[in-house]
Amino acid sequence: MLPLPKLREIKEAIKALLVGPYTSKFPKEGHQPHPNFRGQPKFNEQKCVGCLACEEVCPVKAIAHEDKIDSKESKRVMIHYTDTCIFCGQCEAACIADHLGIKLSNDWELSFFERKNAYETIEKEIQLCEVCGKMLACTDHLKWIAQKIGELSYSNPSLYLSRLKALGLIDDNLVAPLKDQGRSDRTKILCAKCRRSTTL
Ligand code: SF4
Ligand code: SF4
């Protein structure tokens, strides 16, 4: 003889008939996750300053970067590997851009036909030394530092020049009248080595 259903099971069956099942009709209908669902982290290209703090703290190396240095256009490509990520949120917690450069999203749909496509990227402009061409940092990172330290940035010409450049207050015309024995280099964004030699 078949066992009789328990009272709890009968209650659940009646409830399911009246309000419908708990489960969604995926894949027929798209799943709506809970607002607090911890899904895939997403970069925000406008907010990220390319500092690499998130890459440093990621416990599974799901974040990486590639620097492409070119005389015409230099950029840092920030990469997030969605197949490696464990959604721990450490990147968001460590993000210096008010935790907005990378943020956990509600995105749960992570299936791919080809695993090599399981990544997302953003690009950040890189500031090169205007004398030797060596990489300094991402342009937005320099602006971020200048903004953070406020008037103290006036002790570092590369920082305040980055800030003035971002505000559109200086351009290449500033250095044109100073083209004499390398003194024009003083009003350029320089790496530490070139700053030292132009100062000396
Ligand atoms: S959520 Fe965790 S695992 Fe995923 S990228 Fe951020 S730090 Fe790495
Ligand atoms: S600003 Fe935030 S998201 Fe961008 S590189 Fe730094 S820590 Fe990562």
* 3-state secondary structure string across 126-173: EEECCCCCCEEEEHHHHHHHHHHHHHHHHHCHHHHHHHHHHCCCCCHH
Sign, CA torsion 30/33/39/41: positive
State the Rg of the chain over Cα: 26
Q: Which domains does the chain have, with CATH numbers?
A: 37-127 (3.30.70.3270), 129-200 (no CATH)
Phi, psi of 54 (to 5 degrees): -65, -40
Helices and strands of the chain, counted as H and E runs? 6, 6
Instruction: Divide the 200 residues of the chain into consecutive groups of 10 and give the mean pLDDT of each group.
Output: 84 88 80 88 97 97 95 92 94 97 92 89 92 89 90 83 76 53 71 82
* pLDDT of the residue at 65: 97
Among positive and negative, which fits the CA dihedral 172, 177, 180, 185?
negative
Q: Which atom of ligand 1 is nearest to the CA of 81?
A: 5
106 in Cβ contact with 52 (< 8 Å): no
Q: What is the pLDDT of residue 161?
A: 81
State residue 188's pLDDT score.
80
Structure tokens at 116: 């090599």
Counting ligand 2 atoms within 8 A of each CB, the residue from 57, 95, 124 with the most, and so the one to mutate, is 95
For strand 75-81 and strand 119-128, is the pairing parallel, antiparallel, or unpaired? antiparallel
Tell if the pTM clears 0.85, that is, is over it.
no
Counting atoms of ligand 1 from 1, which one is nearest the CA of 94? 7
- What's residue 133's pLDDT? 86
Residue of the nearest CA to atom 8 in ligand 2? 54
Instruction: Give the C-alpha separation, 153 to 158, whole Å.
Output: 9
DSSP single-letter state for residue 91: H
- Decide: 63 in ligand 1 pocket, CB within 6 A: yes
Closest Cα to atom 6, ligand 1: which residue? 91
